[in-house]
């Protein structure tokens, strides 16, 4: 959702009143709640005209929406199987229709990483891995940052070698987190874990921790480490994105974030960004980069990580095609 959509959603929620807005929030993901909450907090004053525009748009959109099918579960199954074939569709259907079966793990998404780490610290690395693959990749990375180096590395080896999760393997967590699965025996093996999730989590860790984890995995299994690296998409891999993809990315990134992120970019990547901007915008960005003083590596990596989140979202939406391949210093 872009900034305009966020602001419109915030205005709509404010117009509903506290009780109704609270009911809407119950159906949103943690990150959506956070982003909307932050937007509402920033909206000090809203003109009556703006409110009326938002309500008119909502009324129009709602008027065009209706329930078109009676059994939505069967409809999803039928459409996905026709589009993807039985094998691929069945994997996706399991994840879509069984999402409610991991309510205990879902509750972790509302907790700060340090609290999740404290909860999992004494669990077996295999159990921790089984939980982390259900979280957002950046949250999983932040949780692991609160572990010791040895714990972190052992968990990542298990994430990378995880070949699906049986409900029985998660039941041991019930006493720690409450009920993890609803009707677990009925749930099929979920296709979570493996090389790609491991690569995504490592991507979000920052260069210093990333190197340590990969070195550890390489010592244990060189082939596995290479497979993970092949699935990683780093900031420098933006060089492999075509011009259309870069232009789509630039539309989503704030100027300040781009400046900080590019402080740690190679000259080749900077030039690729410049060539996909208007002449005036490129010149302004060059001047801002030259005039900006030293920036901590941690700040640069944080902004690069945020840009990579946008890249992955655009990739999921089909706007970008991906081909992937600390210390507080200053840049």
- Mean pLDDT by runs of 10 across the 331 residues of the chain is 78 82 77 78 80 83 57 64 64 51 64 82 83 86 91 91 67 51 38 76 79 88 84 82 91 91 91 93 92 88 87 82 52 51
**Structural domains of the chain, count:** 3
80 occurs within a structural domain:
no
The per-residue b/e assignment along 250-274, b for 16 or more CB within 10 angstroms, e otherwise, is bebbeeebbbbbbbbbeeebbebbb
The first and second tokens of residue 94, run together, are: 């399991």
Question: Which pLDDT score, from 0 to 100, does residue 96 have?
Answer: 55
278 occurs within a structural domain:
yes
71 occurs within a structural domain:
no
Mark whether 211 and 251 lie in a shared domain: no
Mark whether 114 and 176 lie in a shared domain: yes
Does the predicted model carry a pTM greater than 0.85? no
Sequence-separated (6 or more) residues with CB below 8 Å from residue 293: none
Question: Which pLDDT score, from 0 to 100, does residue 273 have?
Answer: 94
DSSP 243-312: HHHHHHHHHHS-HHHHHHHHTTS-HHHHHHHHHTS-HHHHHHHHHHHHH----BHHHHHHHHHHHHHHHH
Mark whether 227 and 307 lie in a shared domain: no
User: Which residues are bridge partners to 176 per DSSP?
Assistant: none
User: Which residues are bridge partners to 190 per DSSP?
Assistant: 165
In the block, tokens 């399991």 appear at: 94
> What value does the CA radius of gyration of the chain take, rounded to a whole number of Å?
22
The whole-angstrom separation of Cα 54 and Cα 65 is 17
| Residue 254 belongs to domain with CATH number | 1.10.220.30
Mark whether 110 and 201 lie in a shared domain: yes
Mark whether 226 and 265 lie in a shared domain: no
User: Which residues are bridge partners to 296 per DSSP?
Assistant: 330
Mark whether 224 and 104 lie in a shared domain: yes
Domain assignment of residue 310, given as a range: 235-316
74 occurs within a structural domain:
no
Q: How are the residues of the chain apportioned to helix, strand and coil, as percentages rounded to the nearest 5? A: 70, 0, 25
Mark whether 200 and 174 lie in a shared domain: yes
Q: How many CA atoms lie within 13 A of 264 on its CB side?
A: 24
Rounded to the nearest angstrom, the gap between the alpha carbon of residue 298 and the centroid of all alpha carbons in its chain is 19
Residue 66 has phi, psi (to 5 degrees) of -150, 165
User: Which residues are bridge partners to 185 per DSSP?
Assistant: none
Of 198, 216, 231, the position where a domain reaches its end is: 231
Mark whether 220 and 109 lie in a shared domain: yes
Angstrom distances, CA of residue 109 to CA of 106, 116, 139, 164, 303: 5, 9, 8, 20, 22
């Amino acid at each position: 959702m872009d900034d305009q959509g966020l602001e419109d959603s915030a205005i709509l929620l404010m117009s509903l009143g506290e009780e109704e807005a609270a009911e809407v929030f119950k159906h949103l993901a943690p990150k959506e709640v956070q982003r909307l909450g932050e937007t509402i907090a920033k909206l000090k004053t809203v003109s009556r005209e703006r409110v009326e525009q938002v309500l008119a748009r909502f009324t129009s959109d709602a008027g065009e929406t209706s329930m078109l099918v009676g059994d939505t579960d069967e409809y999803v199954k039928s459409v996905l199987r026709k589009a993807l074939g039985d094998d691929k569709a069945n994997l996706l259907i399991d994840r879509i229709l069984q999402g409610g079966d991991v309510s205990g793990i879902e509750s972790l998404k509302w907790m700060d990483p340090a609290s999740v780490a404290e909860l999992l610290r004494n669990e077996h690395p295999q159990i921790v891995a089984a939980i982390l693959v259900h979280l957002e990749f950046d949250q999983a990375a932040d949780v692991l940052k609160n572990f010791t180096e040895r714990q972190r590395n052992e968990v990542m080896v298990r994430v990378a070698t995880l070949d699906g999760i049986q409900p029985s393997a998660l039941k041991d967590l019930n006493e720690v987190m409450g009920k993890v699965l609803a009707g677990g025996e009925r749930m099929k093996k979920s296709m979570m874990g493996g090389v790609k999730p491991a690569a995504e989590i490592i991507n979000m860790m920052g260069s210093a921790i990333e190197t340590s984890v990969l070195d550890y995995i390489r010592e244990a299994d060189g082939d596995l480490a290479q497979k993970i690296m092949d699935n990683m998409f780093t900031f420098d891999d933006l060089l492999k994105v075509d011009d259309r993809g870069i232009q789509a990315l630039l539309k989503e990134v704030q100027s300040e974030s781009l400046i900080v992120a590019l402080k740690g970019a190679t000259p080749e990547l900077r030039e690729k960004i410049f060539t996909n901007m208007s002449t005036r915008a490129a010149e302004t960005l060059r001047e801002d980069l030259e005039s900006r003083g030293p920036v901590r590596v941690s700040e640069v990596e944080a902004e690069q990580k945020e840009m990579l989140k946008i890249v992955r979202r655009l990739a999921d939406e089909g706007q970008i095609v991906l081909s992937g391949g600390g210390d507080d210093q200053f840049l």
